[in-house]
Chains A and B, each alone.
Chain A
């Protein structure tokens, strides 16, 4: 039981390695991958059952790794990482189901390695370990876009890789320098988060170090100005990679700021707050407006995702319980909704072989069930009450109003921003007369079953948020208490 987190992280990788060594046939590979995701899901359920919402870091594993450099294998889970962890493991099985017809073996291996990368990044508490996983998750994405993508996929995969590596490098520099400061202060090297949080930096250094971290996270999210990799990468990545990028990796940017930013540079972040809030507010509308003229479905929802992530980042930098609760809740619900949406888009592509909005249309006549799911996910991205997104947006708006009136007013534009493009998109994609004579099959049972959990979760998060809030509310209160 004490190694449960380690198992959660490395089980997919382990299974991937075994299958790889055995040169497993495709069928076994599929079963193995799916099996691993289910197994991990079960393990996480155990973690959730045992989880104490009032406690701090739990299930800590602290083992020496590279002792001379003070690098430890240091992992643990708290409310924050539990939310993201749950998301990851919830999304993997539907994705494997989605990939059911995929014949290229590399695809499956990449997904398993990716899972290890993201779960590792969420759970690690040692900066060096975090950096390792942070880069680990980039590699499969690079391969998946580069090898299995569409369009200008090689160019786009280079673009995303170079831009994120730029961020990673600046973060690595900051990490090393923090370690060095620790070494100067205490005479030994250490990269453990709890030890480093004891350090106090001089303001000038701290400013640069924070900038180093922020750059990595802000590119990953991405906020406006750091976003040009996003639409091309989303546009040419295969659907599972898009889902992981939008639902998990982007959220890891937010998570990173929360975990490392607020632990290490509480005060310096205050300096950056007006800046981040401004670009987040700009991003909220900028992406939404950009999405209006986008004719590729996947790219449109890339911008949509950017818009909502800006809102999450905004909530994160408004220091009160409502905005934080809203942000954390939005991380979860937006991940579910956008995963559903991107899967629907993938299914559209499988049927029509095109994602150009103008050549779609009239789907509602041919496939009611498909229409229902498509519209449901689109509307839940738009934040319709009864889905989790609404609760989150409401909380963030309240938090913003608590901060000050102007901020509240500007944040409320989130009510309108998604409207602008989603409804016009629905009209052109689902309704009207078909522009495309390709026969359109409705969802089959397998596809319905893969989407149903997402729908149920979205409705549950919207109708009874009180089922979920107890898991993170005490933690946030405590965090805010420490902060003030």
Chain B
């Protein structure tokens, strides 16, 4: 099986994630898009590990899966907390750092 197919899949997944990240407002969707992009990178690592015959890649991929799990717990918890505070999960509402309006 040619690795090109995997590369294509990786690019596809990453692009979908990216578009989701940029275009959606819902924090959960943004979170899922980020996860998608992360997974695509993970897939790339695994693929390259197989292609190059280097186990480091697989190790890295496994490690990332573990981190994703931990991160998911943290991220979801933060979203829930935010929702409790501000009663919204619309990302555009969180613009306290904006410089534009103070000028």
The short answer to whether A and B are in direct contact, CB under 8 Å, is no
Chain B residues within 8 Å of A, Cβ to Cβ: none
